[in-house]
Copies of this chain bind each other. A is one copy, B any other.
Amino acid sequence: MTSELTDRQRQVYDAIRDHLARHGVTPKLNELGHALGIRSRGVVHRHVRALVDARLVEVEPGRHRGIRLAGAVPPPEALELPLLGRIVAGLPLEAIPDEATIDLGQFFMGAGRFVLRVQGDSMIEAGILDGDMVVVKQAERAVDGEIVVALIDGDEATLKRIRHNRADGSVTLLPANSALAPMIYPASRVQIQGVVIAQLRSYR
């Protein structure tokens, strides 16, 4: 029940988890602010306080990098399949039954996620084929290298890998198809609608 959070507080929480996943440690207030486009540590601190009140996070007072994740993780789902092992390609492998199971719910489910069917071959070299589905998490920002659903000039949605060009503030949208050229736009023309967090394909 995190529904009492404001938009910004949610973004701060996501940024903390993202930083933890990416760097192995929780962020400093400055780092958090930089990730969110906030220049004032005081503002970031106020948001973190709100997360503490919501019991999503704990803080060791005064300590540098003192944020700790707490609180509820998404509920475990009964959507599990046995995970048997690895296939070694090129040279074959062992098919030894493993005891582990894979929880597809953890993989895909979550708030603000939706599925898009991909049309076209623009990301084919990234293993996203025509007709595949991608699970997209709604987001306004993305990190360089992530695959995003981007709206160009407000009326054209595309699936591309993103790169921010600090030099001039422009944004490059890179197709994964050597037959297509990267596209460069001023940041004002590109609106990120979501980040691809998973891809799936059905052979039927």
Q: Chain A interface (Cβ within 8 Å of chain B)?
A: 3, 6-7, 10, 21-25, 64-65, 68, 77-79, 81-95, 102, 104-105, 107-124, 127-130, 132-135, 138, 146-147, 149, 151-152, 154-159, 175, 180, 193-204
- The contact of A117 among B86, B92, B202, by CB within 8 Å, is B86
Given A113-B81, A146-B203, verify A175-B21 contact (CB < 8 Å): no
CB-CB < 8 A to A154: which residues of B?
92
Measured CA separation A42–B195 after assembly (Å): 33
Identify the closest chain B residue to A173 (Cβ).
Answer: B92
Identify the closest chain B residue to A98 (Cβ).
Answer: B114
Measured CA separation A122–B89 after assembly (Å): 5
CB-CB < 8 A to A151: which residues of B?
92-93, 95
Given contacts A24-B112, A77-B79, A94-B157, 7 further A-B contacts (CB under 8 A): A7-B25, A22-B114, A79-B108, A83-B117, A87-B120, A93-B119, A146-B203
Q: Say whether B202 contacts A157, CB under 8 Å.
A: no
Q: Say whether A158 contacts B78, CB under 8 Å.
A: no
CB-CB < 8 A to A6: which residues of B?
64-65
- The contact of A157 among B87, B159, B175, by CB within 8 Å, is B87
Q: Say whether A118 contacts B203, CB under 8 Å.
A: no
Q: In angstroms, how far is the closest chain B Cβ from the Cβ of A138?
A: 5
Measured CA separation A201–B200 after assembly (Å): 6
- The contact of A114 among B68, B84, B110, B117, by CB within 8 Å, is B84
